[in-house]
Structure 1
């Protein structure tokens, strides 16, 4: 079914208020989820609410805790998310980086003791809206099997990069694994098979049963039990397809998040009672190197040349970000799509909190 984005946001704000988040923090959390749904990234939208609710009840997430600045220089920030949501600490940090970068030209932040932070692109776009280049990284729960290994050790370890351009910023936002776990969650909820070679079992055989993969990932992520298998790195199952490159990309994210933040690496975030993710944010002012409008024009020209290349009949060449901005405009008018299982979860959460659930359009 489809629901109005404004009604989705109202519902989320009311639920987060009941959960004990401040009005400001609840509004931010709601905005990040609605933003994901509007862009067609349903894996990181309102379907995450039931998961967030479980973590709040288990005190993995502490809604009343405030962000702490542990160390600050004119160009850097070390932040303790204090067991609250990653969106709160990451938004706080990127706002600070934007101010620093406009003065000095470049700045970065590392966040520890955090949780899931939604889409990495949300924070990269914050920088792009201010005429800056933005980068956002996170480690996650252990989901991903390294090259030639049998067991999950790495996170899906998202990487987002934005660059100011017209008619919208360039925004690349993706996992360093072949797919994010959220996409498998959505398939499992809706009893659909995995369409590609995304995951393997304990013997590194490809598995297409989304429910089985999700069950195994949950065991890995929320307990110390290791059933073996997991999501593949970019490049898939075989080293001959260069999956070591996806493995390397994921390790870069591990180094800049868990290691640099002095928090757990992804493999160790599944300790009972906590997640403890880490994030890394960077902002760069293009003015360090020249005129912003020239950079934007040159980027636009490059993207237009790529879009205009001869291509497969019936297909479209999309630059990263094109689909999401197109989806955003369409879904703002038509409403965001909610699958049946998520709709049932929202009804339960609404009943528990005495919050009216959005009606289908």
Structure 2
């Protein structure tokens, strides 16, 4: 079924308020989830609410805590999220970096002691709205099996990169693994099969049953028991298909996040202190030329690519095209909610005594 954007936003803000977030933080958290759903990234939308609520209950995250700056220079920040929600520390960091990049051209931030931060692209787009290049990364729970490994060690380790352009910025936002765990979770909720070679069992045999994979990932990510298997790196199951390149990409994110932050590696985030780390960078393209000229050149390149000869019945899309189209469509049609997620929201509604008004006409 579909629910209106206003219904989702109002419900989320009300739940976050009851959970102890202040009004500004609750609005930010709600906006990141609504934004993900509007862009068709349902893996990072409202279906995450049950997980966030569980983290509050077990004190993995503390709603009232605020990020603290541990070290600051004109071009850098080291931030302690203090177990607050990752979105809160990340938006705080990006706002600071935007100011610094406008003043000095380049700025970087590392966040330690953080939590899940939603979609990486949310923060990079904050930079692009100000005419800046934005880079956002995070490590995650242990989900990903390195090349030739039989057990998970790395996170899905998202990377987002934005560049100003028209009619919308270039936005690459994706896991450095074959897929994020959230996409498998959504398929499992819908009772659907995994369409590609995304995950393997303890013998590195490819699995397609989403529920089986989701159960295994949950055991890997949320307990000390580390069964074999997990999500594949980019490049798939075989080294001959260059999966070591995906492995390398994931390691780069691990170095920029857990190592630079002196926090936990993805492999160890299933144990206390259950901390994630994030890395952000802003670059002012005006260091290298007129912004409008650079935007025009980038936009012209993208248009040339969109109009290349292509396979009949297909369409060449630049990263960001699909998400911006989804945003416009879902803003009108409402947010699509699967049955299991709806049941979770109804349980949360009852638990926190927050109404979940559903427009039955859209069911």
Same-fold status (TM-score > 0.5): yes
Tell me, in whole angstroms, the C-alpha distance in 1 between the residues paired with 2:173 and 2:316.
17
Q: Secondary structure at the match of 2:172?
A: strand
Post-superposition shift, 1:275? Answer: 2.0
Q: How does 1:162-177 map to 2 (within 5 A)?
A: 162-177=162-177
Runs (5+) with no aligned partner, structure 2: none
Tell me, in whole angstroms, the C-alpha distance in 1 between the residues paired with 2:346 and 2:27.
20
Q: Deviations over 1:95-135 (max 9, x none)?
A: 00000110000000000000000000000000000000000
Q: Secondary structure at the match of 1:98?
A: helix
Partner of 2:355 in structure 1?
Answer: 356
Tell me, in whole angstroms, the C-alpha distance in 1 between the residues paired with 2:314 and 2:25.
41
Partner of 2:342 in structure 1?
Answer: 343
**2:55 is the alignment partner of 1:55:** yes
Tell me, in whole angstroms, the C-alpha distance in 2 between the residues paired with 1:355 and 1:266.
34
Q: How does 1:142-153 map to 2 (within 5 A)?
A: 142-153=142-153
Post-superposition shift, 1:162? Answer: 0.1
Post-superposition shift, 1:86? Answer: 0.5
Partner of 1:228 in structure 2?
Answer: 228
Post-superposition shift, 1:189? Answer: 1.2
Q: How does 1:121-270 map to 2 (within 5 A)?
A: 121-270=121-270
Q: Deviations over 1:312-360 (max 9, x none)?
A: 1111100000000000011001101111110110011011111111313
Partner of 1:85 in structure 2?
Answer: 85
Q: Secondary structure at the match of 2:289?
A: coil
Aligned residues: 360
C-alpha RMSD over aligned residues: 0.7
Q: How does 1:274-293 map to 2 (within 5 A)?
A: 274-293=273-292
Q: Deviations over 1:289-325 (max 9, x none)?
A: 0000000000010000000011111111000000000
* TM-score, length-scaled by structure 1: 0.99
Post-superposition shift, 1:211? Answer: 1.0
Partner of 2:67 in structure 1?
Answer: 67
Partner of 1:298 in structure 2?
Answer: 297
Tell me, in whole angstroms, the C-alpha distance in 2 between the residues paired with 1:13 and 1:36.
15
Tell me, in whole angstroms, the C-alpha distance in 2 between the residues paired with 1:345 and 1:50.
7
Tell me, in whole angstroms, the C-alpha distance in 2 between the residues paired with 1:89 and 1:283.
16
Tell me, in whole angstroms, the C-alpha distance in 2 between the residues paired with 1:275 and 1:178.
23
Tell me, in whole angstroms, the C-alpha distance in 2 between the residues paired with 1:208 and 1:275.
29
Partner of 1:113 in structure 2?
Answer: 113
Partner of 2:6 in structure 1?
Answer: 6
Mapped contact 1:8–1:358 kept (Cα < 8 A)? no
Q: Secondary structure at the match of 2:261?
A: coil
Q: Secondary structure at the match of 1:26?
A: helix
Tell me, in whole angstroms, the C-alpha distance in 2 between the residues paired with 1:221 and 1:253.
18
Runs (5+) with no aligned partner, structure 1: none
Q: Secondary structure at the match of 2:329?
A: helix
Q: Secondary structure at the match of 1:167?
A: coil
